[in-house]
Amino acid sequence: MNLAPLIGAPARSALLGLALLLSGPLTQAQTQAPTPGAAAPAEASAAGAAAKVLRYSFRVAETGFDPAKVTDLYSRVITSHMFESLYGYDHLARPVRIVPLTAAALPEVSADFKTFTIRLKPGIYFTDDPAFKGQRRELVAADYVYSLKRFADPAVNSPNWGSVEAQKLLGLNAYRGTVLRSRGRFDYDRPLPGLRALDRYTLQLQLEEPRPRLLEFLADASLYGAVAREVIEAYGDQSMAHPVGTGPFVLTQWRRSSLIVLSKNPGYRERYYDAQAAADDAEGQALAARFKGRRLPMLDRVEVSIIEENQPRWLSFLDGQFQFLERVPEDFIGQAAPGGQLAPNLARQGMRLHRQLAADTLFTVFNMEDPVVGGYTPEKVALRRAIGLATDKGREMSVVRRNQAISAQAMFQPHTRGYNAQFKSEMSAYDPARARALLELYGYKDVDGDGWREQPDGTPLVLEALSIPEGFQRQIDELWQKNMAAVGLRVKLKIAKWPENLKAMRNGKFSIWWLAVSASQPDSQDVLNMFSSTHIGSSNYARIKLPELDALVARTDLMPDGPERQALFQHSQRLATAYMPYFARGHRFHTDISRAELVGYRRPLFWNNWWEYVELAN
């Protein structure tokens, strides 16, 4: 699951600024030196033809490129192009289809879904790096054993440990507990029955409990791509700045929060375009016919600038600096796509519009351990529900977001199994009168007559919310402050950069924040994990501890897909509405625009890699 800011793009993340592509020298800590020989192929592709360079921008800054340490969407977009998981998704298939990536075939699975045996393709190599001491380093089964163990190492402090923990690899969770209790060092050489390399190319995963959907877990390259032990040990705490994988691209330049450059991996194996579209998918069929058999990747380089504000990002695209606009800024959707159709002036330039309802959810998170908005007593639950009732999310979706989102009823994302478009809940209601009545009933009254409510014990009541210094977010902040003032709730915004807010949330040092989560797989279990006490410190951002929800999450995790599991998903939505640790606000439309020369783009649903499947036509 990808974490992102509530602003228009995950992800999700805002150490941003207009990228000045030629400014400033790079320090050693800011960049990885290009792999020897990497620049030449990128600059002289196709027998001397001009390099094919894709340029576009992120609206939120990256945090780094170590798969075990990243959680924000933008960093994961980058890591998914440098690291490779055992499985991936067919670029064109809708409904989605998982296919082997570094694995030779789909896994051999025991009848009880507890043992998965996976054979790797031989002849896959990591990109060259000094850590390999001049030797070409082949990817082997032991690399996936090591990579998964890293998530359990307390010294790594992976924010994604909860997702790995939930798979219950035999012996891994228990060993992590032993290391934590002893405060000792994690021994990567210690044999564990759940993670074994049977031979050089055969990996076997054994689980404590059935995992019918383990394949979806293994298909996330942005997190579960293989890393090499030699590289991690060579760079230590600097692993976020030294990504070395087996993927189609390699990091060749990096100015933090400004510019990220990846070049074609000169040693990438022979891999060819074999995506398959549905028979009734005319666009997909055309792309499959055009690219079938083409060697991947088809680009020489990708340059990603970080541009925080909507206007310069939009104008840079119109000015021709970028061939691709990832998510049209809401401020300019009327100019770009009035009525959901590409503007005539852009269509005349051969541009293409790509619009789909995203597998994401915009939400407000309340810290359940916070003395003001947290807790399980009736008055604390009433406060959170009143905040939800007073929030005019319909106006946020229609006015601030320019109809680029729809109101949400629950936390489950569209296109995932738990999502039910017909489900209705209190989270859809905007009812300030009811919010005021609820506050009055549970003792939140204006005792001193200053227009602001106090807490039931008479002490001042101030809602403190995290925010970021970004123009679009300011519009959301202003609307919410106005909503809260209308029911007598005073708000204090704590403005900080995205990474600072993220750190505060992980440590439980916050009260309220606005975020978005995008699904990284078709299943909805990741959303349920947001309510599990075992995921506090990772995906349980609200830090909620409720035995009934814990039991429900544990039960659905083991069940095969079907009506019974779906019924439990619906029950979880009712519990989530009742206690309101999260307030689901909306689901976004992703509206991208590509210039005529960019061919082959199709927005991924649950994965982040797409660069290798596109080309720049002459």
The structural domains of the chain, with segments of one domain joined by +, span: 2-264, 360-590
Is pLDDT larger for residue 594 or for residue 163? 594
Residue 22: HSE in the Cβ half-sphere, 13 Å Cα cutoff:
0
Secondary structure percentages of the chain, helix, strand, coil, to 5 = 35, 20, 50
C-alpha–C-alpha distance, residues 246 and 195, integer Å = 21
With a threshold of 0.85, does the pTM exceed it?
no
- Predicted confidence at residue 20, as pLDDT, reads 24
Percent pLDDT > 90 in the chain is 81
Res. 14 pLDDT band, cuts 50 70 90: very low
C-alpha–C-alpha distance, residues 423 and 573, integer Å = 9
- Predicted confidence at residue 257, as pLDDT, reads 93
Condensed to tens digits (0 to 9), the pLDDT of residues 358-381 reads: 999 999 999 999 999 999 999 999
Q: Which two tokens stand for residue 237?
A: 């705490």
Return the minimum-mean-pLDDT range out of 254-258, 352-356, 554-558.
554-558
Please give the CATH number for the structural domain made up of 2-264.
3.40.190.10
Condensed to tens digits (0 to 9), the pLDDT of residues 437-450 reads: 999 999 999 999 99
- Predicted confidence at residue 40, as pLDDT, reads 37
Q: For the chain, how far is it from start to end, CA to CA, in angstroms?
A: 37
Condensed to tens digits (0 to 9), the pLDDT of residues 269-320 reads: 999 999 999 999 999 999 999 999 999 999 999 999 999 889 999 999 999 9
What is the fold of 360-590? Answer: Dipeptide-binding Protein; domain 3 (3.10.105)
Number of H-type helices and E-type strands within the chain: 21, 21
